[in-house]
């Protein structure tokens, strides 16, 4: 039992509706789990605030179709969930490089055989919404194995009750799709955005109460019975023959729970692919979380260090003032701890960070370089990252997939990897790699080349 909340574009209300629907499902005694199409981090945090359990990425650029279905099925089983809500990314058909359906919400819906609930911002429109819906439905049928297409329902956001009653019969008569509900404009949660997307859930006062209030409105404006019928129409996914990564080689390298990886996690560093952390754990590592903002030193038994992305620029003064933690990290790196860091974590390891106001702050100084605000997206999007150096990866495959999304740059981006954009001739050098270090701006997705785990865990064990 599952549904995808998708839209013609960003800003249509996907996250608001997804969170309210998750809350409504919980209120009605269901045990939902959520997923997010694409490489996004922040929307998943909103889902987690509703459910209390981590949400998961589904990305068909990073993963094969079998891996997508495997991640979906295994997480449902692990969470003992009886239904799933998948939030789409951007517009329904927006995929790789703006010219492919790969990595689009539509492709994830096809791979997981999930019916789509198309949410539309109906403000400023009346009957014009009919050809918009019809165009999306016809295009979906054209590209789908299913003759009726995968768009099974429509939801109108920022829509009055009278407008809904006017538009619903017109859409259903001309588009062969069920219209299942609406949210009035005054009920919408207006969550502000910054350059990487929505502001973090922790920055929104009384977020859970806001979502619950929207869920209560939704309980009156949503045809829940019709939506539930559509959700139940999704076929079972056969996961019995799904391939997965074999961790036996890794568990020969590190005994269960014997290898400790210190993972930075607080308000400044919170961007992690949940699947990456799970793969580390399944490979035999024990993750020990610490806060660069609030703790005074790294965990004393850490053999490896992982610092993800986030918003270090928002907490630069606090990071600078926590000199004991900065010294602890610098000393650990100089003494040979194995370290991986990406984006915000990479910036934190450098000598200095200059924010968008031009104010500079001391960082760890564990590696050379200074990061600075550029005012625009830098090297944005998916990429394949191939190691130039000979000692980085075991085996022949030295390429891993990842994603960049940052407004900062560095005086020392590194030259040990070659990055290449998919469906493009654009390439550039990036990342700093040594026997014990792999750091840079890209967010890497480990499952796209699990050799990264072998290298990292092996280097941690060597001490």
Of these residues, 19, 137, 270, 343, which one is catalytic?
Answer: 343
Assess contact for 427 and 420: CB atoms under 8 A. yes
| Number of helices and strands in the chain (H, E) | 14, 26
Instruction: Please tell me what DSSP assigns to residue 177.
Output: -
Separation CA 15–CA 119 (nearest Å)? 10
Query: Exposed, middle or buried, 126 (CB in 10 Å: 0-12/13-18/19+)?
Result: exposed
Cα-based torsion angle of the residue sequence 289, 292, 295, 300 in order, rounded to the nearest 10 degrees:
60
Assess contact for 193 and 199: CB atoms under 8 A. yes
Residues facing 85 on adjacent strands = 3, 34
Assess contact for 121 and 12: CB atoms under 8 A. yes
Indicate left, alpha or beta for 168 from its phi (over 0: left) and psi (-120 to 50: alpha): alpha
Q: Which helix (DSSP H) or strand (DSSP E) does residue 106 occupy?
A: helix 105-112
Token pair in block for residue 452: 């990264």
Q: Which helix (DSSP H) or strand (DSSP E) does residue 319 occupy?
A: helix 316-321
Catalytic status, residue 343: yes
Residue among 402, 388, 400 nearest 434 (CA): 388
Separation CA 217–CA 211 (nearest Å)? 10
Q: Which helix (DSSP H) or strand (DSSP E) does residue 238 occupy?
A: none
Residue 372 backbone dihedrals phi, psi, to 5 degrees: -150, 150
Give me the DSSP letters along 15-28: HHHHHHHHHHHHHT
Token pair in block for residue 344: 């915000």
Instruction: Encode burial over 132-165: b for 16+ CB neighbours within 10 A, e otherwise.
Output: bbeebbeebeeeeeeeebbbbbbbbbbbeeebbe
Place of tokens 């400023």: 124
Residues known to be catalytic: 343
């Amino acid at each position: 039992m599952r549904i995808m909340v998708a839209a013609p574009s960003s800003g249509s209300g996907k996250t608001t509706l997804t969170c309210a629907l998750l809350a409504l499902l919980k209120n009605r005694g269901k045990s939902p789990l959520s997923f997010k199409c694409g490489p996004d981090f922040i929307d998943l945090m909103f889902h987690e605030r509703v459910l209390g359990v981590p949400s998961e990425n589904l990305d068909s650029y990073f993963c094969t179709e079998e891996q997508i279905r495997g991640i979906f099925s295994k997480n449902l089983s692990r969470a003992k969930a009886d239904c799933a809500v998948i939030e789409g990314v951007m517009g329904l058909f927006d995929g790789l490089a703006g010219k492919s359906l790969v990595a689009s919400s539509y492709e994830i819906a096809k791979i997981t055989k999930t019916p789509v609930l198309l949410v539309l911002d109906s403000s400023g429109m009346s009957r014009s919404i009919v050809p918009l819906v019809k165009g999306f439905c016809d295009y979906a049928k054209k590209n789908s194995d299913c003759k009726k297409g995968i768009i099974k329902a429509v939801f109108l956001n920022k829509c009055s009750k009278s407008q809904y009653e006017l538009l619903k019969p017109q859409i259903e008569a001309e588009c062969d799709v069920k219209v299942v509900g609406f949210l009035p404009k005054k009920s919408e949660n207006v969550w502000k955005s910054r350059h990487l997307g929505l502001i973090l859930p922790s920055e929104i006062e009384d977020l859970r109460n806001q979502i619950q209030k929207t869920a209560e409105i939704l309980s009156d404006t949503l045809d829940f019975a019709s939506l539930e019928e559509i959700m139940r129409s999704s076929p079972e996914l056969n996961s019995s023959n799904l391939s997965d990564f074999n961790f036996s080689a890794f568990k020969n390298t590190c005994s269960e729970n014997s290898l400790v990886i210190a993972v930075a996690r607080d308000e400044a560093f919170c961007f992690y692919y949940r699947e990456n952390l799970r793969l580390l754990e399944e490979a035999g590592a024990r993750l020990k979380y610490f806060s660069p903002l609030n703790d005074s030193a790294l965990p004393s038994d850490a053999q490896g260090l992982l610092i993800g992305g986030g918003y270090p620029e928002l907490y630069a003064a606090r990071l600078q003032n926590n000199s004991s933690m900065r010294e602890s990290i610098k000393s650990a790196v100089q003494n040979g701890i194995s370290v991986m860091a990406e984006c915000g974590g990479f910036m934190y390891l450098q000598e200095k960070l200059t924010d968008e106001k031009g104010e500079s702050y001391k960082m760890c100084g564990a590696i050379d370089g200074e990061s600075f605000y550029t005012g625009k997206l830098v090297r944005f999007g998916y990429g394949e990252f191939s190691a130039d150096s000979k000692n980085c990866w075991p085996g022949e495959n030295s390429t891993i997939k990842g994603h960049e999304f940052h407004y900062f740059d560095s005086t020392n981006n590194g030259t040990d990897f070659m990055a290449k954009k998919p469906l493009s001739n654009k390439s550039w050098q990036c990342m700093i790699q040594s026997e014990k270090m792999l750091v840079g701006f890209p967010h890497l997705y480990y499952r796209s080349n699990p050799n990264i785990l072998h290298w990292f865990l092996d280097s941690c064990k060597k001490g």
